[in-house]
Amino acid sequence: MQLPKYKKKKRIKLKICQYCGKEFWGHPIAKYCELHRDVKQREKTKKSPEPGDSNNRTYNHEYIEVVEEPWTCELDGCGKTYMVKIFPKQFVYPRFCEEHRNEFRRRNWIRAKLLEDLRKSRAPVARPAAPELDLSGEDGEVRKSPKIAKVVPRTTGAVRPKASAAKAPAAKAPAKSGVAKAKPASETKAKAKK
């Protein structure tokens, strides 16, 4: 049997305990000092129920049954109420109503609201500034619309030609039903003379 010629060198470094922060001499992969190496000596820390993103909120409660509560949407200007089921030992819940849980929908709703507010603020300013047009006279009538005033020529006796029977599409015969339809008076008189 072969024996090593040299004794294995112990690698000991100065480390910091991750539980208490105290310095100790130990192996490079050691995390805790001699006191806290035993699990019984370390107290378990609970994770804080803080949400990781801004879409959720924490609701600290001590319920032991599932409860439904009405909440209001926290999006500026929405104020819609929605129902939330509150479960025991669960503290993170949605902040917005069903319509605004999606980031795109929230941004789109805020953008639409800003545009609506802009239109409302500009509408009273734009209406008095528009001049009243009165171009009616012998040669034409004026139609007033909020966008453009159109001049429409008057027709003086020119009549549009009526669509001929050949050009008009043939009307489909309705499906026969059990109810008899009344015939025009001209057809009934013609049959009575025969």
DSSP string, 119-185: HHHHHHHHHHHSPPP---SSSEEEE--SS-PEEEEPPSS--PPPPPTTTSPPPPPPPP-SSPPPPPH
106 contact partners, CB below 8 Å, separation of at least 6: 75, 96, 100
> Is 193 contained in some domain?
no
- What is the domain extent for residue 108? 56-126
pLDDT at 55: 81
> Is 36 contained in some domain?
yes
End residue of a domain, out of 102, 126, 150 = 126
Question: Do 37 and 95 reside in the same domain of the chain?
Answer: no
pLDDT at 4: 79
End residue of a domain, out of 126, 150, 178 = 126
End residue of a domain, out of 104, 126, 148 = 126
> Is 88 contained in some domain?
yes
Mean pLDDT by 10 residues, the chain (194 residues): 79 91 91 90 72 78 92 87 91 88 89 89 64 55 52 58 54 53 60 57
Question: Do 61 and 122 reside in the same domain of the chain?
Answer: yes
3-state secondary structure of 39: helix
Query: What's the structural domain count of the chain?
Result: 2
Measured distance CA(84)–CA(71) in Å, rounded: 7
Q: Is 126 exposed, middle or buried (0-12, 13-18, 19+ CB in 10 A)?
A: exposed
> Is 75 contained in some domain?
yes
> Is 33 contained in some domain?
yes
Question: Do 16 and 40 reside in the same domain of the chain?
Answer: yes
**Residue ranges of the alpha helices (H) in 6-102?**
none
pLDDT at 138: 54
